[in-house]
Structure 1
Amino acid sequence: MSGKIPRQFIDDLLVRVDIVDLIDSHVPLKKSGSSFVARCPFHTEKTPSFSVSRQRQLYHCFGCGVSGNAISFLMDFNHLDFVEAVEDLAGFIGVQVPREAFVNQKSVDDKQDIARLYVVLEGVAAFYSEQLRSPEGQKAVEYLKNRGLSGEVARDFGLGYAPQAWDALLARFDQKSLLDAGMLVLKEDGRAYDRFRGRLMFPIRDKRKRVIGFGGRVLDASQPKYLNSPETVLFSKGKELYGLCELLEKNARPAQILVVEGYMDVIALAQFGVVNAVAALGTATSKAHVDLLFRFSPELVFCFDGDAAGLQAAWRAVEAALPCLRDGRQIKIMLLPQGYDPDSLVREEGLVAFQQRITQAEVLSDYFFGRMGVDLNLTTMEGRSRLLAAAKPQLEKIPQGFFRDLMFNRLHELSGARVSEKVEKTAKLMTKNSVKRQLPKKSPKSNLMRKVLSLLLQHPQLAKQFEQQLLDLDVLDFAGADLLRDVLKVIAATGPENNAMLLENYRDTPHNKTIVALSNLVWDIPDGGEAGEFLGALQQLVRLSRESRMSKLIEKVSRGEALTPAEMEEYKMGGKL
């Protein structure tokens, strides 16, 4: 939608920002030796294991393993994407984010159009809010009062009223902007009219508090009862959740998020003190919704009505959630009594009883197998076979991990079939392959390579040692050598001043996890001794490489194989080239 952010600006930003000051503004830090520490903001702990290094401009938690630079922190802590984090970081030091010139003028125009839509939707939300206080809007106020909602809650959620007129918006805002934002309906004859008329209005905001669409509810018996904004460049109902913005304003990292079915459920629960509820926007709970919510909380509770439609919605939500269930995440299912929704139930039972229901909600594993076993006689082979046929394809959606293994083990217990054996073999194979892929293996050369790479990443200025020592990297032909050469190329091309800048060059690359892990290794080296330690490890690495190379040449000669001219010269020199 716009020109790229120049790499040089990102590098300059990481130089100008002190990560200690940045993180301390969000999480109070305490000095501890050469670093600063705090209790980790990304997981619950009693003693501080979250460390921030001013020298390397990185943070790392020794408890949960999270780590990164200033940009990574803002992305994780404030749930931002990369561009949003760079913009916020630039705002932290009071500079504007430049954009590289984009040859496609359409992209520039698109960016301007999108900015224009945000402005018009914010204006429409303000207009609807004003109309709630107008004489015509009093019927919406009365409706809210009858539902027991306070003015404070209406204000917090920005509720408003759309006048009955066909051109209330047309008379105040640009028609093209309104059409692009989905606020008008275009007739076949080319004339347009307001999409929302005579409705209680619910602004839908994204996580950056920008209005992206609206929902509207009728105040009489007319249909449709609820109407949402159509799909636009700003709004996609399959990816957004009502109430998430308001929830995150109150608690950026809720321990639990309650997923309900409607706008009024979210608002009514907030009225009673349940401020961790969100709702899908007239669509089934999707995988995108679940993935989004798990960015903010490790536990989700799906709260649905106990009627047939609610049961169906709950099952669809479970099916959508299965691919998202990595270890450490939990989902519960809370089905309400027949004839109740969250709004009516919390009013009748009160907050304490409603929260007790949340606490006692059924965990996904029990709900899953309870649903799968309905109407099946598991004492018969036929019943167990039907259970296997229905459950196994669903469980295969779950990512590899302990939870998946335990679910297959439960299926084994219920069916008597050893379906878990394949999972166990797969898990063992994955573990074996994972160990093979890990950079540090317990061999002298691998340990030396790990130390060389780690120290080079932590102190990019050590790259000068390669030039000063005239070391030939071509002799390095074992695991990690290609990564070492790549790191040296990046250092030569970008000239990073610290570990954080070098790390940024590997974001979203296949090497990122390895680079981050190596950057966080701790070496018992006195301050100022890094260069000597690095050079010693590097020289040993080259020596072992040459010895390995010479052994291969000797084996080749002993087998009677011909050497190339270069190999012959190297063989005569005894591996000293």
Structure 2
Amino acid sequence: MSGRIPRQFIDDLLVRVDIVDLIDSRVPLKKKGSEFAACCPFHNEKTPSFNVNRQKQVYLCRGCGESGNAISFLMAFNNLSFVEAVEDLAAFAGVDVPRESADSDVDLPDKKTVSHVYDVLAGVASYYTEQLRGNSEGRQAVEYLKARGVSGEVARDFSLGYAPNKWDALVARFDQADLIEAGMLVVRDDGKVYDRFRGRLMFPIRDKRKRVVGFGGRVLDDSLPKYLNSPETAVFSKSKELYGLCELLEGNNKPERILVVEGYMDVIALAQFGISNAVATLGTATSKAQIDLLFRFTSELVFCFDGDNAGRQAAWKATDAALPCLRDGRQIKIMLLPQGQDPDSLLRAENSSAFMERIRNAQVLSDYFFENIAGQLELATVEGRSQLLAAATPSLEKVPAGFFREMMFARLQELAATRLAVDVGEKQARLKSKFNAGKSIPSPRVSLARKVIGLLLQHPHFASLVEREGVMLDELNFAGVELLMDVLQRVALEKPGNSAILLESFRGTPQEKAVKVLASLELDVPIGGEEAEFCGALRQLCKQAKEATLTRLIEKESREGLMFEEKEVLRKLLREKT
């Protein structure tokens, strides 16, 4: 299809890039036998269980089960879409990403449009920076920043700018259609246009790939609205981006914790005081997408909100959005500032050391949750306890399965002084069993079908052995035969050079999950003995399948008789058996 990345290029890219080199550039690996190991970047652990196999070009964490090829790693590690991951992998390999084209398709123009929007926004950001530094009108913005204690270095690091107080400042410099596409112009009902941002201090919003995706603008007086954001565009969504994240990651791509604040100037003020691990939401409530994104880079988030009613409401909304993100190993704290204070004013009243101490001593989410949800209830009464259960249970149901979820329910049970239908101890035991099972993937006894498919996925060239062994798959009937036939068909069509390419061919299919699990199976086969193991398992699998078919046909014949075709199959199997 037009605009799509050619499949052959993706396959070639997976051959060109060594997954060990790719992952090692982000997560330092150590040689461990025939593989490379590290502590898993996707969950907290002290003993390395994250393994990368150079021969198969895949990775597997035996702790949390994350697995895949180089593209999967970039998608998970950097929270990228598939296309973004391919583009990053191509950049790592030093090659350009080609695009297919077809006259009947519109994908290519769309892709060009998106790319061009980034270029336009980058140009506008540079223009605003010029206006702040070199335009006499921009002096008022400079004076505003000086009055707020913002240094030239911080203004430079965040590429702060100024939008002239004119209706057509951008149109004189950029193409009108491009500006409309980028959300920089407002189109009136009569078709006339004017600059969206005028007379404002400008904050470029950059994504995690350092591209300008939108802007925030603040007035320099008391007029309203005080803040104005870019509208939703092809490259910008307020609920998915965070101001300051790009700048934070440039200085530290794996911070100990990330502080989530309410506004652009909060991030700037904190940076001025040497606190460079803060990001801000973009005028909307903190979203699950934003929280998931932040947890890609740290295991601890601290929500810092003003202590007024609006701040408390924002903190509660953030807590509700965070509950579905709270897997084991992740932590969220709530830090409500004193009434009438924001990060800037509090830092000036105290100092950065005292502020950092507030961050470290912030209230953990579990205490904050129960304190707020039970605060106004009379828990000494049955009515109060039932209200607690009714209010808390729907929220806690959002928490993913794990020890944190079960301990939250245990706390609820304790506060409500009742036994819930969920048997916490029993579920914890099941979870522990499941977690430990995940550490020993696979179980000691692997079925023949799983072994055959697993070996085939790990060594795609074994497909030629199936024909050599004279296996007639259409005559077989066992659980998994459809997947085996699918894998063999894909190998014949794709001719993959390694496991990573074969895995990629299953991306987005119903079989993807099963294939990833089977491709990661540890089969305890001596190095060099994989082919013999595959052939032996395949013969045994065929033998078992034929015996099962023979037994089924004999039983059916004695019970109700057979169709002509079934009789032929029975005769053939009886001849082979003798």
| TM-score, reference length from structure 2 | 0.91
Post-superposition CA distance 1:118-175 (Å, at most 9, x none): 2221111111111111322122112112212121111111101111222221221112
Q: 1:366 to 1:2 in 2, by over 3 A?
A: farther
Q: 1:541 to 1:343 in 2, by over 3 A?
A: same
1:394 maps to which residue?
Answer: 395
Shift of 1:2: 5.9
Q: Which amino acid counterpart does residue 384 of structure 1 have in structure 2?
A: R
Aligned 8 A contact 2:59 2:68 in 1: yes
Q: 1:447 to 1:187 in 2, by over 3 A?
A: closer
Q: 1:568 to 1:432 in 2, by over 3 A?
A: farther
- In the alignment, the residues of structure 2 paired with residue 170 and residue 79 of structure 1 have an alpha-carbon distance, to the nearest angstrom, of 35
1:254 maps to which residue?
Answer: 255
2:462 maps to which residue?
Answer: 462
1:293 maps to which residue?
Answer: 294
Once the two structures are superposed, the pairs formed by residues 440-455 of structure 1 within 5 Å of their partners are: 447-455=447-455
1:567 maps to which residue?
Answer: 566
Shift of 1:37: 4.0
1:492 maps to which residue?
Answer: 492
Aligned 8 A contact 1:475 1:545 in 2: no
Q: Does 1:502 align with 2:511?
A: no
1:66 maps to which residue?
Answer: 66
Aligned 8 A contact 1:405 1:420 in 2: no
- In the alignment, the residues of structure 2 paired with residue 539 and residue 108 of structure 1 have an alpha-carbon distance, to the nearest angstrom, of 49
Q: Does 1:182 align with 2:187?
A: no
Q: 2:303 is paired with a residue of what secondary structure?
A: strand
- In the alignment, the residues of structure 2 paired with residue 427 and residue 24 of structure 1 have an alpha-carbon distance, to the nearest angstrom, of 35
1:198 maps to which residue?
Answer: 199
Q: Does 1:378 align with 2:379?
A: yes
Shift of 1:335: 0.9
2:138 maps to which residue?
Answer: 137
Bigger relative contact order, structure 1 or 2 (CA pairs below 8 A, ≥6 apart): 2
- In the alignment, the residues of structure 2 paired with residue 409 and residue 44 of structure 1 have an alpha-carbon distance, to the nearest angstrom, of 23
Once the two structures are superposed, the pairs formed by residues 329-408 of structure 1 within 5 Å of their partners are: 329-408=330-409
Post-superposition CA distance 1:45-102 (Å, at most 9, x none): 5565443332222233445443322222322333322111211222233322122224
Equivalenced residue count is 572
Q: 1:485 to 1:394 in 2, by over 3 A?
A: same
Structure 1, 350-359 or 334-343: larger mean CA deviation: 350-359
Q: 1:2 to 1:332 in 2, by over 3 A?
A: farther
- In the alignment, the residues of structure 2 paired with residue 5 and residue 103 of structure 1 have an alpha-carbon distance, to the nearest angstrom, of 16
Once the two structures are superposed, the pairs formed by residues 160-171 of structure 1 within 5 Å of their partners are: 160-171=161-172
Shift of 1:248: 1.9
Aligned 8 A contact 1:304 1:313 in 2: yes
Q: Which amino acid counterpart does residue 356 of structure 1 have in structure 2?
A: E
Post-superposition CA distance 1:212-238 (Å, at most 9, x none): 111111111111111111222222212
1:241 maps to which residue?
Answer: 242
Q: 1:264 is paired with a residue of what secondary structure?
A: helix
Q: How much identity, in percent, do the aligned residues show?
A: 64
Shift of 1:258: 1.4
Q: 1:555 is paired with a residue of what secondary structure?
A: helix
- In the alignment, the residues of structure 2 paired with residue 156 and residue 474 of structure 1 have an alpha-carbon distance, to the nearest angstrom, of 65
Shift of 1:315: 0.9
Q: 1:124 to 1:375 in 2, by over 3 A?
A: same
- In the alignment, the residues of structure 2 paired with residue 155 and residue 508 of structure 1 have an alpha-carbon distance, to the nearest angstrom, of 43
- In the alignment, the residues of structure 2 paired with residue 332 and residue 276 of structure 1 have an alpha-carbon distance, to the nearest angstrom, of 15
Q: Which amino acid counterpart does residue 68 of structure 1 have in structure 2?
A: G
Shift of 1:426: 8.5
Aligned 8 A contact 2:101 2:108 in 1: no
1:127 maps to which residue?
Answer: 127
Structure 1, 147-156 or 507-516: larger mean CA deviation: 507-516
Q: Which amino acid counterpart does residue 569 of structure 1 have in structure 2?
A: E
Q: 1:468 to 1:338 in 2, by over 3 A?
A: same
- In the alignment, the residues of structure 2 paired with residue 366 and residue 381 of structure 1 have an alpha-carbon distance, to the nearest angstrom, of 22
- Please tell me the root mean square deviation across aligned C-alpha atoms, in Å: 2.8
Q: 1:421 is paired with a residue of what secondary structure?
A: coil
Aligned 8 A contact 2:165 2:199 in 1: yes
Aligned 8 A contact 1:439 1:514 in 2: no
2:515 maps to which residue?
Answer: 515
Q: 1:220 is paired with a residue of what secondary structure?
A: coil
1:52 maps to which residue?
Answer: 52
Aligned 8 A contact 1:272 1:351 in 2: yes
Post-superposition CA distance 1:334-369 (Å, at most 9, x none): 111111111221232222221221122112111111
Structure 1, 511-520 or 143-152: larger mean CA deviation: 511-520
Q: 1:242 is paired with a residue of what secondary structure?
A: coil
1:542 maps to which residue?
Answer: 542
Post-superposition CA distance 1:485-519 (Å, at most 9, x none): 22111111111111111111122333333322322
Q: Does 1:304 align with 2:305?
A: yes
- In the alignment, the residues of structure 1 paired with residue 39 and residue 401 of structure 2 have an alpha-carbon distance, to the nearest angstrom, of 30
Show structure 2 runs of 5+ residues with no match: none
